[in-house]
Amino acid sequence: MSGNVSQSHAARDGLDTAWTGDNNEWWDWYLTLADGGADDGPLLDLAEPDALPEPPADELSALLAETYPVSAEQRAAFARDGFVKLPGVLPPAAVSRLRRLLVEHLAAEQRDRPAGRFTSDELMWTRSGEIAQFVLARRLGRLVADLLDVADVRIYHDNVLAKEPACGRTPWHFDDHHFPIDSQQVATVWVPLQQTPREMGPLSFARGVDLHRLVDDVPFSTTDASYDRAVSRAFAGAEVSVEDGPFELGEVSVHSSLCFHTAGPNRTTAPRMVLATTYFADGAAVVPRPTLVSGEWQQFLPGAQPGEVIDTPVNPVVS
């Protein structure tokens, strides 16, 4: 399949420039592009989940090496819809361990986590062997390779995405626009680290892998919510079906870089914690012209130049 579909719009949309802040500043800016305004109503009172007894080391290693059996229906749904939600990818005890590791990671990095913030960090696996055990797990990498129908995938980056209480919406977007990877064989595994009801802002998906064509002419704005609003309007007008349901513990989603997605605000008193890890088909190259919305991409593909096949030490094959 041919490569990235968004490159031709970079100049039109004023994006043919480099991001100069860090990755959390990128997210802070990005969330200002979401429509919806402030909601001052009361938050749903939810406690942080109780820690569960963690799996013994040998059980965890065995589980993370074991492939998740992707059914023919799930493959077909991913190819048609651009995403799929899969139950029971991780047992609750493993999710509980991953949550503890990421909470401790943010604390060790002395990350401020004020209400209303979208706290993020990435490349955590390069600093923690315990986090790497999940991020580089065959269970996740093979799952993506099977859904993308490719022999092998490499990792682009991991991300902790903590939508703190009262943090607003994530704007409608598709990741092809963001990732400087010249391929359509790119997907993100979104692993919620608690039960995630609608009030907490679960990831929500527009059903249809080709929907990006419907909004291809909508100009991107770097300064206001007009893009998010126009995409919403276009999807409502076309009666696009949106999957915006809750996630059970251990359930994960996988979305293609072509899939349009958004997430609601976190209207609860507990942070919405997620590990989101992106993988791409082995053999893919860097796009000719990475853009402003590619953020700190040189950190994620260190030394890889536009046009070059990606093969760096922080992009290992994980399937």
Ligand X SMILES: O=C(O)CCC(=O)C(=O)O
- Identify whether the C-beta of residue 313 lies closer than 8 Å to the C-beta of residue 192: no
In the list 150, 274, 275, 284, the residue contacting ligand X (rule: CB under 6 A) is 274
Question: Site mask, ligand X, residues 101-130, x = CB under 6 A?
Answer: ------------------------------
- Count of residues making up the chain: 319
Closer CB to ligand X, 133 or 196, in the complex: 196
Question: Site mask, ligand X, residues 7-46, x = CB under 6 A?
Answer: ----------------------------------------
Q: Which residues contact 122 (CB under 8 A, 6 or more apart)?
A: 23, 157, 158, 159, 160, 299, 300
Closer CB to ligand X, 150 or 276, in the complex: 276
Shortest Å distance, C-beta 78 to ligand X: 15
Q: State both tokens at 251.
A: 């359930």
Residues 224-263 that bind ligand X (CB under 6 A): 261, 263
Would you tell me the crossing angle of helices 92-108 and 57-65 to the nearest 10 degrees? 100
Count H helices and E strands in the chain, helices first: 8, 10
Give the number of C-alpha atoms closer than 13 A to the C-alpha of residue 307, restricted to the C-beta side: 1
In the list 203, 231, 249, 258, the residue contacting ligand X (rule: CB under 6 A) is 203
For the chain, list the strands marked E by DSSP.
83-86, 118-122, 153-163, 170-173, 186-192, 203-206, 242-243, 252-256, 261-263, 272-281
Total binding residues toward ligand X, as defined by CB under 6 A? 11
Shortest Å distance, C-beta 61 to ligand X: 26
Closer CB to ligand X, 145 or 161, in the complex: 161
Closer CB to ligand X, 60 or 125, in the complex: 125
- Identify whether the C-beta of residue 90 lies closer than 8 Å to the C-beta of residue 250: yes
Closer CB to ligand X, 161 or 249, in the complex: 161
Closer CB to ligand X, 229 or 272, in the complex: 272
Name the nearest CA neighbour of 202 among 115, 262, 276: 262
Question: Site mask, ligand X, residues 156-195, x = CB under 6 A?
Answer: -----x-x------x----x------------x-x-----
Closer CB to ligand X, 44 or 52, in the complex: 44
The letter for the amino acid at 77 is A
Shortest Å distance, C-beta 256 to ligand X: 10
Shortest Å distance, C-beta 274 to ligand X: 5
- The number of beta carbons lying within 10 Å of the beta carbon of residue 66 is 12
Closer CB to ligand X, 55 or 159, in the complex: 159
d(CA 84, CA 79) in angstroms, rounded, equals 9
Beta bridge partners of 272: 163
Three-state secondary structure call for residue 243: strand
Q: Which residues contact 213 (CB under 8 A, 6 or more apart)?
A: none
Question: Site mask, ligand X, residues 276-295, x = CB under 6 A?
Answer: x-------------------
Shortest Å distance, C-beta 276 to ligand X: 4
In the chain the first and final C-alpha atoms are separated, in Å, by: 20
Write out the residues near ligand X by the rule CB under 6 A. 161, 163, 170, 175, 188, 190, 203, 261, 263, 274, 276
